[in-house]
Amino acid sequence: MIAIHLKRKELFSMKRKKKTAALLTAMILLMMILLSCNSALADQTGVVKGGWLILRATPSFTGTILSSYPSGTVVTITSQVGSWYAVITPDGLTGYMLGDYLRIDGGGGSIPAESTAYVTSRNGLNVRLRSGPGKGYSILASYAPGTVCQILSAGRNWCRIQVGSLIGYMMTQFLTNEYITPIPGPTPGPSGDYLVYVTSANGKGVNLRSGPGKGYASIGFYSVGTEAWMISKGAYWSYIRIGERYGYMMTKFLTETQPIPPAPYYDGAYVVSANGRSVNLRVAPSKNSKVIKSFRVGTRLTIITYGADWYFIQIGGYYGYMMRQFIYENGYPSTPTDLY
């Protein structure tokens, strides 16, 4: 009898151990699933839609309000609690946003092909358009948040898009189908526009940009003495018009007193190239701008305005921009290919 009792006790103990082991296994599997979900969410981003979205300290409508963000704001998702997402905002805050007002993008998201999209960025800076689907391809242009584009073909990481007449590739994470309000130009002051002039301490040309910051694309390059119309003057950047073109220029490069333009350099400048090939003269200081004409090595030229990377020059009856690396100023070069 004693032996039978012990055997039953051992069987009961074994069954209890099996149940405990099964329960532990189930708990471990559940934890692994939760961790994998959170890991997947950590690779996701969300874009605020439908207006301003509140960031709360806890996943509840009663949670403390930390801040709020407009449509188009891109946040990083770290986990999910019911209908709430734990996020990291562009300015570094952590909290919870209601998922009803977030468009979730998995690892860069996906944008429907043949649709209208808008450029977006976490820091508000311009986004680069490249010649191919990778960061190693050349930069064709850069565009401010809110720029409208057409999706020609969509991919997980890169999309082939068209902006105006230019076609190239942009990272999918910087594109959204949600409307982004573009940066508006400042409203003219009550006194109206007034005449100012471009100036610089070193006599070099000054960039006109698409937005109030050096991160925005250059939309023009103007020499000292160029007339401009002041629309809205700021402490660091001013909104101006030069001809029919509107843009931003640093206020320190604008003056109400007409400066004396530096004298052009007529002598001692020639076209050169390391490979001996002809060099392009362009309508704007950009490799993507239209070519006016190509000139052979050794062609004499006149420098009108110096720039950091481009010079505004004259060759015969042609005026345009040429990269400074293809211009030699110290007399005629001994050979056309001895400069790099």
- For 216, the token pair is 């925005």
Residue 339 located in a structural domain:
no
Does 337 reside within a domain? Answer: no
Q: Give 270-321 pLDDT, tens digit per residue.
A: 899 888 899 999 887 788 888 989 999 989 888 777 777 888 788 877 778 8
Confidence (pLDDT) at 192: 59
Confidence tier at 253 by pLDDT (50, 70, 90): very high
- Residue range 146-164: average pLDDT? 82
Do residues 90 and 120 share a domain?
A: no
- Give 51-64 pLDDT, tens digit per residue: 778 899 999 888 89
Rg (CA), the chain: 31
63 domain-assigned:
yes
Q: Determine the residue type at 75.
A: V
pLDDT at 301: 86
Residue whose tokens read 């069954």: 15
For residue 92, is it left (φ>0), alpha (ψ between -120 and 50) or beta?
Answer: left
Let me know the angle formed at the C-alpha of 181 by 209 and 129, rounded to the nearest 5 degrees. 50
Q: What is the pLDDT of residue 43?
A: 46
Number of residues assigned to the chain: 340
The last residue of a domain, from among 204, 232, 255: 255
* pLDDT over 70 percentage in the chain: 73
Our count of domains for the chain comes to 5
For residues 59 and 78, membership in a common domain is answered with: yes
The residue segments making up the domain with residue 99 are 44-106
Residue 295 has what pLDDT?
A: 94
pLDDT band at residue 107 using 50, 70 and 90 as cut-offs: very low
Q: Rounded to an integer, what distance in angstroms lies between the CA atom of residue 279 and that of residue 293?
A: 8
Under DSSP, is residue 266 helix (H, G, I), strand (E, B) or coil?
A: coil
pTM: 0.33
Residues 233 and 286 in one domain: no
DSSP 54-97: EEESSSSTTSPEEEEE-TT-EEEEEEEETTEEEEE-TTS-EEEE
Q: Using pLDDT thresholds of 50, 70 and 90, give the confidence band for residue 261.
A: low
Q: Are residues 249 and 288 in the same domain?
A: no
Q: For residue 189, tell me if it sits in a domain.
A: no
Instruction: State yes or no: pLDDT of 30 exceeds 90.
Output: no
In 3D space, the residue among 100, 98, 96, 101 whose CA is nearest the CA of residue 57 turns out to be 96
- 95: pLDDT strictly greater than 90: yes
CATH of the domain at 52: 2.30.30.40
Residue the block writes with tokens 């110096």 = 306
The region of weakest confidence among 81-85, 153-157, 195-199 is 153-157
pLDDT of residue 44: 65
Pick 229 or 319 by higher pLDDT.
Answer: 229
Q: Is residue 223 part of a domain?
A: yes
Q: What would the mean pLDDT of 74-85 be, rounded to a whole number?
A: 79
Which of 200, 329, 203 shows the shortest CA–CA distance to 266?
Answer: 329
Helix-, strand-, coil-residue percentages of the chain, each rounded to 5: 15, 40, 45
Residue 10: the pLDDT is 61
Give me the chain's average pLDDT, please: 75
